[in-house]
Amino acid sequence: MIRIASRAALAAASTFAIASPALAHMTFETAQSAPGEQFRGVLVLPHGCDGAPTDTIRVTLPQGFVDVSAEAKDGWTLETPGSDGQVSQIVWSGGSVPDDGHETFAFTGTFAADLPETDMVFAVEQMCGEVSLGWEPAVSLGDEPVSHGQDGSDAITVGDLELTGAFTRATLPNAPVGGGYVTITNKGDEADRLVSAQSSFSPDVQIHEMAVVNDVMQMQQLPEGLEIPAGETVTLAPGGLHMMFMNISAPFVEGETVPVTLVFEKAGEVEIELAVQAFGASGMNTSGHEGH
Ligand SMILES: [Cu+2]
């Protein structure tokens, strides 16, 4: 469960993640560090959300990123919610960066010495009034540069829809749920809808959004499914819209794949394989579903 203090963030958080296609991703200026090292993360805003100015940036920190201090910005409210003296999120709100502005948001922390030499993912929500985008900039703690496995170019086409970057994350033994992520682009003239999903790994694959209930940010099922507007790209990503595999029958193992059949109202059914990436620290598969 993620507690949020900012009114602006609360108001903006309820609609989510309609990303424009073929635009630059949000990344860190420097994306290389190591276990035990201090790291200054500088997030570079690529653009607004569909032309709208950005008013809130919320960063959910990976576990093992400690001694965090965020850098205040003139004209923005800075909040760092967390528990037990550990900062779990950094929220800059109340400012405005125009669509063509080039603003940076920075913070400093230390990667714990016992972390593996893998990519550490920071889930970032970029909010522009009613619209928001989800990003997943990562920092490599090993010799390899950050891998962009989830941006893979193997596109699957069904009807007017193009599906790319299908992935999930390894789950811990006995974890009851797993996430599922994919980018869906509607190249047609009519809206379509992801109405359901099925997998041999779960008796109940749900489609979830982030929503604020009683001032608390929670996952929430979308019983009507998820609209894919004509000409738009909808991204399911950690920290935002996602598939939720309930009561999984076996753990998701890194390097393997998890099959899932997506059912669209117009385009019909398509089976895709979610590539299982390393157990991430993005929070989605760990603390994100407590009390859910
Ligand atoms: Cu969920």
CA of 238 to the centre of ligand 1 (A): 9
Is there a common fold for 2-140 and 149-277? yes
CA–CA separation, 33 vs 119, rounded Å?
Answer: 10
CA–CA separation, 130 vs 110, rounded Å?
Answer: 33
CA of 102 to the centre of ligand 1 (A): 32
Asked which of 4-18, 37-51, 278-292 is least confident by mean pLDDT, the reply is 4-18
**Class of domain 2-140 (CATH, top level):** mainly beta
CA–CA separation, 112 vs 110, rounded Å?
Answer: 6
User: Smallest Cα–Cα separation from 110: which of 71, 44, 45, 61?
Assistant: 61
pLDDT at residue 108 in the model: 97
CA of 74 to the centre of ligand 1 (A): 35
pLDDT bracket for residue 6 (50, 70, 90) = very low
pLDDT digits (tens, 9 = 90+) for 246-286: 999 999 998 888 999 999 999 999 888 898 887 763 433 33
Domain ranges of the chain: 2-140, 149-277
Structure tokens at 135: 């990003």
Homologous superfamily of 149-277 in CATH? PCu(A)C copper chaperone (2.60.40.1890)
CA of 37 to the centre of ligand 1 (A): 32
pLDDT bracket for residue 50 (50, 70, 90) = low
pLDDT at residue 278 in the model: 79
CA of 179 to the centre of ligand 1 (A): 7
- Residue 151: pLDDT above 60? no
CA of 181 to the centre of ligand 1 (A): 11
CA of 83 to the centre of ligand 1 (A): 21
- Provide the sign of the torsion angle of the four alpha carbons 176, 63, 72, 140, taken in this order: negative
Give the C-alpha distances (Å, rounded to integers) separating 184 from 20, 142, 207, 237, 289. Answer: 11, 31, 14, 11, 24
User: Mean per-residue pLDDT for 165-185?
Assistant: 90
CA of 100 to the centre of ligand 1 (A): 33
- Residue 23: pLDDT above 70? no
- Residue 4: pLDDT above 50? no
CA of 223 to the centre of ligand 1 (A): 13
pLDDT digits (tens, 9 = 90+) for 59-110: 999 999 999 999 999 999 999 999 888 899 999 999 998 877 778 999 999 9
Ion ligand 1: residues, CB < 5 A? 208, 219, 244
User: Mean per-residue pLDDT for 195-219?
Assistant: 88
